[in-house]
Amino acid sequence: MILKLQNTILEMIARGEALQATIERLCVETEALLIGTVCSVLLVRDERLQALAGPSLPQSFQEALDGLPIGGFIGSCDTTAFQGEAVTVTEIEHDPLWAGFNAIALPLGFKARWSTPICSGGRVVATFTFYFQDCRGPNELEQRIVNACTHLCAIAIERDDRVRERQRLTYTDVLTGLPNRAAFNQVLSALAGRAGGGWAVILADLDNLKVINDTFGHGAGDELIQIVAKRIDAVAGTGRAFRIGGDEFAVVVESDTTSPLSTLAGRLLEAIKGQAHCGDHVVLPSATLGGCVASPDEPADQVRQGADVALYHAKERSRGQFVEHRPGLGTALTRRFRAIRDVSLALVEKQIHPYYQPIVRLDSGEVVGFEALCRMSKASGDIIAAANFHEATKDAHVAAELTQCMLQRVARDMRSWLNRGLPLQHVGINLSAADFHAGRLQERICTVFADAGVPLDHVILEVTESVYLGHRDHVVADEIKLLRSCGMRVALDDFGTGFASLTHLLTVPVDIIKIDKSFVDRLTPDDGAVVIVEGLVSIANKLGLRVVAEGIETDLQLKQLVSFGCKLGQGYLFSRAVDADAAASLMALYGQHVGNDHEPLRA
């Protein structure tokens, strides 16, 4: 009889059935064995009793016991839980423990009660109770059955606790205790396509967390995140606030009220900005918020994306404030957001590749070098030029990652060409402002080429005028001096389109100037560009600088440049940018070999 009961309940536990259903089945089976006896099980949670199962008890009876604090000696269950020992009440009507519950117990015909603790890990986790219709205690059979039942309950509760803990770890952020990104996505999935809308998402980014980490240490930064998390949670309400990234939070708003989203956003901003004591430091936190209200039947992903766009807009234009998404918000920002997303994904999936446009001697057509240009490949096989995802490079993090990827890929290709004995002279690699301000640029570049076994005198670093000359600080200029001291050459790209003047050629430490395509395009009779280009070539030659003309597309442009004394150029007249294999073929066919009367891209 007891063995059959054990097998039934153990099978339910093994199948992973819900705790309440399992224990209710246990009570039903036990009551069938002991006619006239009623069973119930109460959990012990946070020092209080919590009704779990009592299938033969009225709901009102269970509710009266639910939430009772243990240790109050009110009824026998809380006493059992507190003392960890079985408690037998043979006369409910006259027992002081039941003085406050006679009115609900006696009308049900209960005259006696026997409560037994259910223990796990050395603590009481629940109580198992028999209600009798006679004034008595348990008999031997009932004791044997209860011993089996408390053991089965302990197994079921332990398993449930393990499941709950796994779920907690899966859906809880360890640092803050808030629900994490997985929980956020789960909530959004539940809201997907909800009829009538009635919900919204607010995203929040902490401002200047990196500065706090760099200034006071990551410990202070972690404390700040914890403090802000508590403040957001207090305003949003339990289970509505999420930590979805390093300094990113989200709030899901489910309300049918007419209160605008900006009201809640204002309360969040106000709560966040109070003084925060992080270790020995006082920090004044701030955050930038973006939000989106769901339209009727709008997909959850679209609402999330709208909040993302609004947050991005706020970070660009209204840092420290809240922006709510509206149709047509920041079209340019939306393009940038999508470009950043696409490029970030391409970096992860290794779909960023260098293509190489040859630099040739204008008099002979020999290939003396290449400029490495960034390309992104799509799943369809299409190759996307950098101009089509230029918006992404305005994000400093993405720009720096792109450069690092390009450096590694170019270094690998160069090593392959050198191993094959091809006449490789130089490859130019473009740098952005983000590369200089990210720090350790010289170390990063030198490490990449050293690891690949490529001598640095094969490397040319191309820097646009706007990067090199458009910053009043000395970060870029100082870094370029370090790079040149390692043996690399530096080219001033897009010369003539930005901040350059002829006096800069006397002061900036560069080796090459690249005349922008916009000037080459205008090399037609009677255009002033003819005089400017001729003058630039003459001055650069006399200063010992090499000149490369960009964007050569016609024989007329080629003829005029040669007549000016310009010796090097690149453009569609010679070749578009090609992949590494095609570049190798160009070198094999047209590469300028050492010993020729060559015009290398360095003095």
Closest to 263 measured CA to CA, from 289, 230, 300: 289
Helix (H) or strand (E) holding 48: strand 48-53
Cβ distance 183 to 239 under 8 Å?
A: no
CA distances 548 to 125, 236, 354, 488, 599, Å, are: 80, 60, 20, 17, 11
Using CB atoms within 10 A of its CB, is residue 593 exposed (0-12), middle (13-18) or buried (19+)? exposed
397's tokens: 């993090």
Using CB atoms within 10 A of its CB, is residue 129 exposed (0-12), middle (13-18) or buried (19+)? buried
CA distances 499 to 359, 428, 496, Å, are: 25, 22, 8
Closest to 550 measured CA to CA, from 426, 433, 464: 464
Distance, CA of 278 to CA of 65 (rounded, Å): 44
Residue 586's CB: how many other CB atoms inside 10 A? 18
Please identify which of the residues 78, 95, 205, 247 carries the catalytic annotation. 247
Block residue for tokens 């604090």: 69
Q: Show the beta-strand stretches assigned E in 378-424.
A: 383-385
> CA-based angle 355:388:496, to the nearest 5?
80
Distance, CA of 549 to CA of 567 (rounded, Å): 9
Distance, CA of 28 to CA of 32 (rounded, Å): 6
Distance, CA of 358 to CA of 377 (rounded, Å): 21
Check if 214 is active-site.
no
Active centre residues (catalytic): 247
